[in-house]
Amino acid sequence: MSKRFAKFSLMMIVAGIALMFAPAAFAQDGTMLSAAGAAKLGGAIGAGLALIGGGIGLGRIGGSAVEAIARQPEMAGQISTAMIITAAMLEGALLFAVVVGLLGILS
């Protein structure tokens, strides 16, 4: 991952978090319509970033596993088992992140 992509990802995560908590900031001046829109935008950005990050992570897991199996074919069983366990844990975290982002849209 390049530094530029890492900076952009971090900036988008911070913007998404800020937009998710926007209703509390806008509640004092009575403009809840724009605050609700900002919260929905933040939730959508958060869910989208979670999916992008999960896709990148799963791609790296699969690619590294195939490369490792190509280097040591006799270890294919152990490598595949470790890959499946790691991918399942990533999927669980990804699902949780998407649900949290989508709950931000509903609130």
Model-wide pTM > 0.85: no
pLDDT at 101 over 70: yes
Q: How far apart are alpha carbons 12 and 27 in whole angstroms?
A: 23
Tokens of 11: 């900036």
- Assign residue 63 the CATH number of its domain: 1.20.20.10
Q: What pLDDT shows up at residue 63?
A: 93
Range of the domain at 31: 3-106
Number of domains in the chain: 1
Q: How far apart are alpha carbons 23 and 85 in whole angstroms?
A: 39
Q: What pLDDT shows up at residue 32?
A: 52
Q: What pLDDT shows up at residue 35?
A: 62
Cβ distance 23 to 32 under 8 Å? yes
pLDDT at 10 over 90: no
pLDDT at 25 over 70: no
Q: What pLDDT shows up at residue 1?
A: 59
- Is the model more confident about 21 or about 78? 78
Reported as a single tens digit per residue, the pLDDT across 31-89 is: 555 666 777 777 788 888 888 888 888 999 999 999 999 999 999 999 999 999 999 99
Q: What pLDDT shows up at residue 72?
A: 94
